């Protein structure tokens, strides 16, 4: 359903070049839930944004539902995007529109007649359990409710594929589970192929069929979730699977004495500092 062939992406900031993705190839089958896991700055967002060409890869090809997206004109690409759903970490609901109007938004884009919109929005709000919030503005909703609205909105045009960029990272564990259950439900009920990216292995364990590990712009492991998680082949994957180990080693290590000379927090930042800087660099303006 989604095929990436030798995708590379580099950004030029002033004179420096950041290589965000290096020769990534990936195949997501129809009806599958595929997870991409990686630490901060690994290139996950860049990867998912390359699939609907929000970001154009520097090299390589993207096929979604058999269409070679890079070869489309900008008009054709705009239309093709209506078949590719996307949800975001920060929901991105329109603050000027009510819940109802937010879900109606993608239907307005392709001039759906009014009765069609009313009917479809009604179905979708029922699906995500927010019929009673139809006339509220997003500012009045909880994070979980906002993500439900975003899911309803992205399903409005019956996409075949759903891309999730850290869709649960801003939510508490309980709400995360309810959103994941909803995604799983949508996948089963409508056969929508889901590609999700996350830094949280619990998300992958909860709903993914297959998983790929992204590190410094490269795919370093790929396979069935159970196989990859039970027998990680690389150090990086092991660390992703056991994030606590990084803290333990920081405190146990000889280099991190717990006296006044070095604050423990410094020892920690020595270990995670690289990621921390990359994270800041990765924020978009």
Ligand X SMILES: Nc1ncnc2c1ncn2[C@@H]1O[C@H](COP(=O)(O)OP(=O)(O)OP(=O)(O)O)[C@@H](O)[C@H]1O
Binding region for Mg ion (CB under 5 A): 45
**Residue placing its CB nearer to other proteins in the complex, 43 or 106:** 106
Q: Does 52 bind other proteins (CB under 8 A)?
A: yes
Q: Does 282 bind ligand X (CB under 6 A)?
A: yes
Instruction: Count residues binding other proteins (CB under 8 A).
Output: 32
**Residue placing its CB nearer to other proteins in the complex, 52 or 198:** 52
Q: Does 43 bind ligand X (CB under 6 A)?
A: yes
Nearest to 77 by CA among 55, 93, 58, 60: 55
Of 3, 5, 27, 40, the one binding ligand X (CB under 6 A) is 40
Q: Report in angstroms how near the CB of residue 93 gets to ligand X at its nearest.
A: 20
Nearest to 5 by CA among 251, 232, 219: 219
190 to 229, contacts with ligand X by CB under 6 A?
199
Q: Does 236 bind ligand X (CB under 6 A)?
A: no
Q: Are 167 and 179 within 8 A, CB to CB?
A: yes
Report the residue count for the chain: 285
**Contact pattern from residue 96 through residue 135 relative to other proteins, giving x for each residue in contact according to CB under 8 A and a dash for the rest:** xx-------xx-xxx-------------------------
Torsion of CA 221, 223, 226, 229, to 10 degrees: 0
Q: Are 262 and 256 within 8 A, CB to CB?
A: yes
Query: Beta strand pairing status for 16-28 and 2-13?
Result: antiparallel
Distances (CA, A) of 70 to 50, 58, 140: 10, 11, 39
Q: Does 16 bind ligand X (CB under 6 A)?
A: no
**Residue placing its CB nearer to ligand X in the complex, 46 or 98:** 46
What is the binding site for other proteins (CB under 8 A)?
52, 54, 75, 78-82, 84, 86, 88, 90, 92, 94-97, 105-106, 108-110, 137-140, 153-154, 157, 163, 284-285
């Amino acid at each position: 359903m989604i095929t990436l062939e030798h995708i590379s992406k580099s950004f030029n900031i002033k004179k420096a070049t950041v290589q965000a993705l290096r020769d990534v190839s990936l195949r997501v089958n129809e009806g599958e839930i595929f997870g991409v896991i990686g630490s901060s700055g690994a290139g996950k967002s860049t990867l998912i944004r390359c699939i609907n060409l929000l970001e154009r890869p520097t090299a390589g090809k993207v096929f979604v539902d058999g269409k070679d997206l890079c070869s489309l004109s900008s008009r054709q690409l705009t239309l093709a995007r209506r078949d590719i759903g996307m949800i975001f970490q920060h929901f991105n609901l329109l603050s000027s529109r009510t819940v109802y109007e937010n879900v109606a938004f993608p239907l307005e884009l392709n001039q759906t007649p009014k009765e069609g919109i009313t009917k479809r929005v009604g179905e979708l709000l029922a699906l995500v359990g927010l019929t009673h919030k139809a006339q509220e503005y997003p500012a009045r909703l909880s994070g979980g409710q906002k993500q439900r609205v975003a899911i309803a909105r992205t399903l409005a045009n019956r996409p075949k594929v759903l891309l999730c960029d850290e869709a649960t990272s801003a939510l508490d564990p309980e709400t995360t589970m309810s959103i994941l259950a909803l995604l799983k439900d949508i996948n089963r009920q409508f056969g929508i192929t889901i590609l999700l990216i996350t830094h949280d292995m619990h998300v992958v364990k909860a709903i993914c069929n297959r998983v790929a590990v992204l590190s410094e712009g490269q795919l370093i492991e790929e396979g069935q979730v159970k196989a990859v998680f039970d027998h990680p082949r690389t150090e990086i994957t092991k660390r992703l699977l056991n994030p606590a180990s990084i803290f333990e080693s920081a405190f146990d290590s000889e280099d991190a004495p717990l006296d006044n000379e070095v604050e423990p927090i410094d020892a920690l930042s020595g270990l995670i500092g690289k990621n921390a800087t990359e994270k800041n660099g990765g924020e978009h303006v």
